[in-house]
Chain A
């Protein structure tokens, strides 16, 4: 925010040759599972995929300055499990690049296959393992191989090129949490009755879109990094595989800027933001009807409009003469310190959900024909997952006595006058704004969900409670969130000194 460019002129950069000549490589692979059905990740209840609505993609961007390099991989998935990342990196041992400089980050599509192994799954199904689904490990193996191929291709194809960057605005990610007159926070759930208690939207919204464009040696546009605080979950409840709004967005961007354009989505800090509106839904729906667009097409149009407002003006600043610095480390963040009361509350909730699960299971056992009904397993898996969710609090309460830290892999990069800062979480916006406000970079591309996710709430969100800001949601709490922000800024600042 504060410092003017210190390296190259931010405005007048032109293609030059230097020792720092950037080499840039792109690749895209299809990671739609070949073997179906699969578990779809992103909701409490299980969803077994019933169709492929559109393809899932992984897009790799290699930037190599000669002195340092980075590989960004955007993946159409809800989050990046350590299992997936580990298998990808393991396959890159002989590739010539540093596998630890590969950053996998998720678009947060809620309609992609589960990529966490059973132990880390979002739901547990005691006694219920047979849904006819392809094992998660099969998908991890397949997706990891595809992603590793993309990375290798991008690395091998890297060639001299330039970059340019800019910023504009697109209203996409909306705050989904509201506070009532008593200070109690709730996610969604605003209706005619609850609206009478509404006091305010809890936090802020960030509609900035940070864009990094890449060009070949002839200044032809080759790809774009589109960084927005908006997870890809417009149609998050489907029982179909889909990249969500990034599918339409890729189509729209390519229709406007070239069929061969590579598109790498990044989700900036947006722990409490989604594309869903919690008020003014009716006028939004009406406008969609008048425009003849789906919600996803509308988002695609907004992003493409925004990119269209930036691209024409940044070509004059294309440069290949940029230094790249990339550091990564695994931070040890303080766990969300749970109290005995938290554990006790969780125990009660777990037992209640476990009981509901038993009732549902008994119902199915008593009448096996129920299993022939469509989506028969929803209540069963939802109750099981909820019980497991609360059980996690009890487990963490015990674990914190000996392990008071949670590891978090973070990457900090400087590329000319812009910074990238990754974290594995669904990081509440207040922290993201803290980083943006204090960062010396001209533009700070925060990349959340470069890992296995889950919410890190802001202090004000934790004070209000509600899904996303309660002990069961938060292995790392506001304290850890603060440590992460502080550390991220220290690292960025170090690169600017």
Chain B
């Protein structure tokens, strides 16, 4: 016998109050303005002894540092919540503060480690700041939880586009399709998944209170800005709240979309023309598509509201085989490092010789780009050494059954082929895959690694296709275990 579901929502503003390093690109970006607020949205589900706290943050990824700090601070506020059952995922906005602590020992991937001297809010401070607000929101959602209902449905929206293409020789590339390179174009490497999974929550009077919008789309339409922004989700939240209620809570989840972004590889001129004709920005267009998709589903869901669905939340840490690197990989990485080191030092020399250059806007970009790319390749060398003593990496997975649907999280930027594998082997009516419920980085598909290119090369992949397959198998096993009981 299931127990009636209790539902609570809350929202926190996690916009930094000082300039920060913006995370998501190789060059350092110091935030120059706040375009729109960053949010963390919290949904609490509780039934009997079981509960889940789902948090979505406007961030590029969720570092272990941020996750652990949120859990710790929540624990300090209330012991009623099992902190392990707090699952935090990112929208993948590329215009939010870095939340990874800079640690050269781990390969120096934080935007805070950029090889130039810049004044910015330290990452540790932002983590403290955001965690405190998110923990308060979690507590608020927990306290406000009340009897309600859920309903779910699916639809389609063309959002995330495949950014990788393969040339006649089988070489894959991310973006870079232009008049010249197009002559070599053979095909788009993989698939696109335009499914939208929607969970709607209702209060006891069947009033809509919030939605989970799950689609394989990362929020990086304006990912190159030197500004703070929730990207597409700023406009999408506005549009959804305009259509479905100002108080609507909107929790975003990115389904497996390792190689998908909102950017188009082709038909770009057509797209731009339509934007002009519609008088919309790209982000507004996506907001409309998202809201249209929700509008195609929501009106049909009240008839299917469930108040006591089956509810079970598994938290597991699985060990995934590391991407097995070779000496050749290391050699290649070393060569790149030598080149980048030279570029970096040249840039530093330029700045030293002519300090006035530092008065120019974004003077730090070339040097920091070389430095961070160098660190990126350095990670290959460090991992090569590390794999001699550690052949697996842990990954935290949450598997949550709610009625006939399931949520299955992973911390990665998980290539779509694996996502489709999970969806079609899952016994759930709808499988909400949630990537970037953790620190990210790409797990590329087998066919993708064959083609190479950014996202599918040793420097991109701490976990390779082998580990990706293990992750898919474990995820399917965990989901199936929830249907056996």
Contacts and interface: CB of A to CB of B under 8 A. Distances in A.
B424 A195 contact: yes
Interface stretch (B79-87, B174-182, B338-346): B174-182
A401 B179 CA distance: 39
Interface string A313-345: 110110000000000000000000000000000
Contacts of B296: 305
Nearest to B424: A279
A93 to B, nearest CB: 39
Given A198-B421, A279-B423, A458 B187 contact: yes
Contact of B270 (A167, A278, A459): A167
Nearest to A168: B274
Interface stretch (B131-139, B188-196, B203-211, B355-363): B188-196
Contacts of A168: 274
Contacts of A433: 185, 187-188, 266
A207 B157 CA distance: 10
Interface in A287-321: 287, 290-291, 302, 305, 309-310, 313-314, 316-317
B266 A437 contact: yes
Interface in A424-479: 430, 433-434, 436-438, 442-443, 458-460
B183 interface: yes
A280 B301 contact: no
A240 to B, nearest CB: 28
Contacts of A430: 186-188
A336 B381 CA distance: 48
Nearest to A179: B447
B425 A316 contact: no
A458 B187 CA distance: 9
Contacts of B231: none
A287 B300 contact: yes
A283 B197 CA distance: 10
A166 B269 contact: no
A433 B266 CA distance: 9
A316 B277 contact: yes
Interface residues of A, number: 53
B154 to A, nearest CB: 4
Contacts of B420: 198, 200-201, 279
A443 B273 CA distance: 11
Contact of B445 (A200, A284, A437): A200
A74 interface: no
B158 A171 contact: yes
B129 interface: no
Given A205-B191, A437-B185, A199 B266 contact: no
A1 B182 contact: yes
B179 A2 contact: yes
A168 B288 CA distance: 12
A287 B273 contact: no
A433 to B, nearest CB: 6
A1 B179 CA distance: 8
B376 to A, nearest CB: 27
Contacts of A167: 267, 270-271, 274
Contacts of A286: 153, 429
B277 A437 contact: no
A369 interface: no
B241 interface: no
Interface string B273-309: 1101110000000000100100011001101100000
A208 B267 contact: yes
A171 B156 contact: yes
Contacts of A1: 182, 266-269
B292 A204 contact: no
A282 interface: yes
A429 to B, nearest CB: 8
Given A200-B447, A204-B191, A443-B270, A438 B183 contact: yes
Nearest to A202: B191
B155 interface: yes
A309 B291 CA distance: 13
B153 A290 contact: yes
Contacts of B178: 2
B276 A11 contact: yes
For the complex of A and B, 8 pairs with smallest distance between CB atoms: A169-B158, A279-B424, A171-B156, A200-B417, A290-B300, A430-B187, A313-B277, A437-B266
29 contacts: A166-B274, A167-B270, A167-B271, A167-B274, A168-B274, A175-B191, A190-B424, A198-B421, A199-B446, A200-B191, A200-B421, A201-B191, A203-B191, A204-B187, A279-B424, A280-B195, A280-B423, A280-B430, A283-B153, A283-B154, A287-B297, A290-B301, A291-B300, A430-B187, A434-B187, A436-B267, A438-B183, A442-B273, A443-B270
Given A2-B182, A198-B420, A287-B154, 12 more contacts: A1-B267, A11-B273, A166-B273, A175-B191, A200-B191, A201-B190, A283-B153, A310-B274, A313-B274, A436-B266, A437-B265, A437-B266
